[in-house]
């Protein structure tokens, strides 16, 4: 295609998979004959609309189909719909990605059913039904039962008229916890989901849980109750009462697997995720595409040296925040800097509130040199006005930038809290 002209992206060569497991229809739709290869060679139809730019790079424009990407995973809604409609009580199903809260995209399924069985029990059963047949990240965060699907004047499904799931409606009602274990699990559910009160029979996913939060829930259960439960248990028994019964039945271990220290090699290899980001940095050159930004306002008298020392403590605690990635004979390795060499400088500048966004944007747009510098930088701004001296109003803004090779959105939240 000429530069600037949009087209659908197909992938050929050794990379594409053989097809979708037990999905011959979807396989034939996505894996098609390659007209440029050897006889029998196939290529994968990605569904991405892209175009070449003047630098010889492909720019993503939009999707040409219903495939969605949630938390880094590509998902075919049709694959989830096929599983749902294979259930005896489901007559119709459609699956969409919703982003009712900015930045929080979730997979939501809408179904119609036969009979008048209790929706709540069926939804719980369906979630386990899907979890047995698909990976955790493809299990819908919510399953909404409708009397009928909304349609347009042309009798087509009106996706824009599908109602938003009612996460958290009725939370905290019902019977009281019957044991300390149930009480603790109710508290853990609330902490992970951000819900003030959770009842013992409240469904984790009906309250807005998803696969990533399920992992956090399992981690929190391990910390609070000292018990190991698999993530799958959350899908099978998604209520505090259900998990409590599972823990009480012995279907969990209280002993953590022993962590044994291994000798650290002289040259630390990169993880797969780090190597991917390192490769992209080398391919595209230093850029700010993978910078993660955290900005916070501080009010009141501020001890700047103490703040600088606190940032240094965070960097000292987390080796990934003081690791650079040089090369030896063309191969990257992790070089962990000593805390004194990696301590953030935390420069201080006085700016007006109107100038703050520009300065924060400039801070976030500066690329990292992954081979030579730590993947974290910070900058402190004292908010002033023409009528006031520096920081006279005791208003400050702290900007922290971390390269994605050392952290993600969740870990940045933890870093900010620390």
CA distances from 367 to 285, 361, 377 (A): 9, 12, 11
What is residue 349's predicted lDDT score, i.e. its pLDDT?
92
Rounded Cα–Cα distance for residues 94 and 26 (Å): 16
pLDDT tens digits in sequence order for the chain, 418 residues long: 788 888 888 998 887 888 888 778 778 888 988 888 788 888 998 888 888 888 888 888 776 667 787 777 778 888 899 899 999 899 999 998 888 777 678 889 999 988 765 566 788 788 888 888 888 788 888 888 998 999 888 788 888 899 988 766 555 566 778 889 999 999 999 999 888 888 888 888 878 888 888 889 999 998 888 888 888 888 888 889 999 988 876 655 555 667 788 888 889 999 998 999 999 898 888 888 899 888 999 999 999 999 999 999 999 999 999 999 999 998 999 999 999 888 888 999 999 988 999 999 999 999 999 999 999 999 999 998 766 555 456 899 999 999 999 987 667 767 767 7
Q: Are 337 and 373 in contact (CB under 8 A)?
A: no
What is residue 22's predicted lDDT score, i.e. its pLDDT?
79
What is residue 225's predicted lDDT score, i.e. its pLDDT?
87
Rounded Cα–Cα distance for residues 77 and 83 (Å): 10
pTM attached to this predicted model? 0.50
For the chain, list the domains and their CATH numbers.
Answer: 6-63 (2.30.38.10), 68-145 (3.30.300.30), 180-249 (1.10.1200.10), 268-416 (3.30.559.10)
What is residue 135's predicted lDDT score, i.e. its pLDDT?
83
What is residue 117's predicted lDDT score, i.e. its pLDDT?
57
What is residue 262's predicted lDDT score, i.e. its pLDDT?
86
What is residue 325's predicted lDDT score, i.e. its pLDDT?
96
φ, ψ dihedrals at 163, nearest 5°: -75, 150
What is residue 138's predicted lDDT score, i.e. its pLDDT?
87
CB within 8 Å of 418: residues ≥ 6 apart? 314, 317
């Amino acid at each position: 295609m000429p530069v600037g002209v949009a087209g659908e992206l197909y992938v050929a060569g050794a990379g594409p998979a053989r097809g979708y497991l037990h999905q011959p229809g979807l396989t034939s739709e996505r894996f098609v004959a390659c007209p440029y290869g050897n006889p029998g060679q196939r290529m994968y139809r990605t569904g991405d609309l892209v175009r070449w730019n003047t630098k010889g790079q492909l720019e993503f424009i939009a999707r040409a189909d219903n495939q969605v990407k949630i938390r880094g995973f590509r998902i075919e809604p049709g694959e989830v719909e096929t599983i749902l409609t294979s259930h005896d009580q489901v007559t119709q199903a459609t699956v969409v990605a919703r982003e009712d809260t900015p930045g929080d995209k979730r997979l939501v399924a809408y179904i119609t059913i036969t009979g008048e069985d209790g929706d709540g029990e069926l939804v719980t059963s369906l979630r386990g039904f899907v979890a047995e047949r698909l990976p955790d990240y493809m299990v819908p965060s919510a399953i909404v039962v409708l009397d009928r699907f909304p349609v347009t004047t042309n009798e087509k499904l009106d996706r824009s008229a599908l109602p938003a799931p009612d996460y958290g409606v009725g939370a905290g009602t019902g019977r009281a916890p019957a044991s300390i274990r149930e009480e603790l699990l109710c508290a853990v559910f609330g902490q992970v989901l951000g819900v003030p009160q959770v009842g013992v029979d409240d469904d984790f996913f009906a309250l807005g849980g998803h696969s990533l939060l399920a992992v956090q829930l399992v981690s929190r259960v391990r910390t609070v109750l000292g018990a190991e439960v698999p993530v799958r248990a959350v899908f099978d028994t998604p209520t505090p009462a259900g998990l409590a019964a599972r823990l009480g039945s012995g279907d969990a271990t209280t002993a953590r697997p022993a962590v044994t220290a291994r000798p650290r090699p002289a040259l630390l290899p990169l993880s797969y995720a780090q190597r991917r980001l390192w490769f992209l940095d080398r391919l595209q050159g230093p850029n700010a595409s993978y910078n993660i930004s955290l900005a916070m306002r501080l009010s009141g008298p501020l001890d700047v040296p103490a703040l600088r020392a606190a940032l240094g403590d965070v960097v000292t605690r987390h080796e990934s925040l003081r690791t650079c990635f040089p090369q030896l004979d063309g191969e990257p390795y992790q070089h962990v800097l000593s805390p004194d060499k990696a301590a953030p400088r935390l420069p201080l500048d006085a700016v007006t509130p109107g100038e703050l966004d520009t300065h924060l944007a400039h801070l976030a747009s500066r690329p990292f040199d992954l081979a030579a510098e730590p993947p974290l930088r910070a900058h402190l701004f004292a908010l002033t006005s023409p009528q006031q001296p520096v920081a006279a109003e005791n208003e400050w803004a702290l900007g922290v930038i971390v390269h994605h090779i050392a952290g993600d959105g969740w870990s940045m939240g933890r870093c900010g809290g620390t």
